[in-house]
Structure 1
Amino acid sequence: MRGRRILGLAALATAATLALAGCTTDQLALDYGSGGNKNYVAGDGSVLEIEQDQRTQKVEFEGVTDAGLDVSSEDYLGEVLVVNFWASYCAPCRVEAPELEKLSQKWSEKGAVFLGVNTYDEPGTSLAFARTYGVTYPSVIDAKTAAVQLAFAGTVAPSALPTTIVLDREGRVAARILGQLPAASILDAIIKTLVAEGEK
């Protein structure tokens, strides 16, 4: 992603898409659930799973977390990586945060790790969200460059907030949940399948 002159326009386009995909108030969260026409793209909780032999190139990204630590996709190779795209203003993001944290704790040291991608907030706001909702896994601050969002655009784009994308141990997109988790058990089952792939 470094040095690409196309980053500016593409980042703005992606950021605009994700901004529209979010929600600014709890009323919009209700509209999100009902499918109301409120000028944003609402995820419907649909689940896309990609068979192992149909997965394409690995996703490569790098960024800085809300705690100021450098991270990259290379750090997670060999483990299943659950990437959750979110923002603090998004009510469905707030609803699913505790469920994601529970799954993060369940799979810690068992072959899967979690990483948030904050598409809107400054580090302080992101950290405050984590404290409020008890989220312990890190989040990349991606609001200014949209670099992480762009890294996924060539595979299965995070076209709504929230979106959860799961990478297999090779860093390839294996599943996407568009919108709020319909049930934690669905993501849990996806993770279990992908962790098992690496144990065969």
Structure 2
Amino acid sequence: MRTTRTRTRTRTAGAAAIAIATVLVLVGCSSSNDSLSKQYGNGSTQNYISGTGAVTEVAAADRSDPVDFTAESITGDELSSKAMRGDVVVINFWYAGCPPCRAEAKHLNTVHDRFADDDVQFVGVNVRDEAGTAEAFERKFGVDYPTVLDARTGTMQLALSGEIAPNAVPTTIVLDEQGRVAARVLGAVDGPGILTTLVDDELTGKAS
């Protein structure tokens, strides 16, 4: 059996302040088939499952099969993994009441704008909210890329539920030009630098 080799670098997500015990309780009460949206309690902005900002990169030779999904954005546009082949795709899992999601929004916008003229696409995946709440967040934080509402269907969460999965909120996953998972930031993106490097590595073929 082939073992996936990963290189892990850890960054502290400054806005992610949650007790380890709370994380363990939340994770322990959730089955492997639950969607992320069912893991947050009853609406408190503190009952999110938070990552540490750890970065996992998967060597090109060790990447799994391409991710497969078809979903509809808030504006009604179809988003298809097959249609995105040939581009690097950045997928960010979030919801409006999540403090580190709010903190990282400006950094995601910066990286999105940095690669606006390149073969890079961004997709937001809201794992909890209805359209009105998600759209209010996007207006407040100036999010220009499309968002999928995933709380009811879990389409995107299931599509990314492999070995390098979105096991915290927020999580940002980078797909390579073949649609395979190339990297994951588990927790808040605490600045534009790391994500810029991850995307740039895929564009320039530096991943190894």
Global fold match (TM > 0.5): yes
% identical aligned pairs = 39
Query: What does 1:184-195 align with in structure 2 at a 5 Å threshold?
Result: 184-195=192-203
Residues 1:24 and 2:44 aligned together: yes
In structure 2, distance between residues paired with 1:101 and 1:86: 14
2:185 to 171, 177, 180: 177
Q: Counterpart of 1:159?
A: 167
1:73 to 66, 72, 81: 81
Residues 1:122 and 2:130 aligned together: yes
TM-score (norm 1): 0.81
1:14 to 15, 35, 49: 35
Residues 1:91 and 2:99 aligned together: yes
2:68 to 32, 42, 60: 60
Q: Give the length in aligned residue pairs.
A: 176
Residues 67-76 or 43-52, more deviating: 67-76
- Give the SS at the match of 1:48: strand
In structure 1, distance between residues paired with 2:112 and 2:37: 29
In structure 2, distance between residues paired with 1:11 and 1:125: 27
Letter in 1 for 2:196: D
Mark the runs of 5 or more structure 2 residues left unpaired by the alignment. Answer: 1-30
- Give the SS at the match of 1:153: coil
In structure 2, distance between residues paired with 1:175 and 1:153: 14
In structure 1, distance between residues paired with 2:152 and 2:76: 15
Q: Counterpart of 2:157?
A: 149
Change (3 A) 1:118 1:40: closer
TM-score (norm 2): 0.78
Q: Counterpart of 2:26?
A: none
In structure 1, distance between residues paired with 2:203 and 2:38: 31
The one-character-per-residue Cα deviations of 1:98-130 (angstroms, maximum 9, x if unpaired) are 110111011012121111001011122211111
Aligned residues of 1:163 and 1:178 also touching (Cα < 8 A): yes
Residues 165-174 or 70-79, more deviating: 70-79
Moved over 4 A (4+): none
Change (3 A) 1:18 1:114: farther
The one-character-per-residue Cα deviations of 1:119-169 (angstroms, maximum 9, x if unpaired) are 011122211111110010010111101111001112311011000000000
Letter in 2 for 1:158: P
2:58 to 50, 54, 57: 50
Change (3 A) 1:191 1:18: farther
Letter in 2 for 1:78: G
Aligned residues of 1:80 and 1:166 also touching (Cα < 8 A): yes
Q: Counterpart of 1:100?
A: 108
From the two aligned structures, give the one with the greater helix fraction.
Answer: 1
- Give the SS at the match of 1:113: strand
Q: Counterpart of 2:119?
A: 111
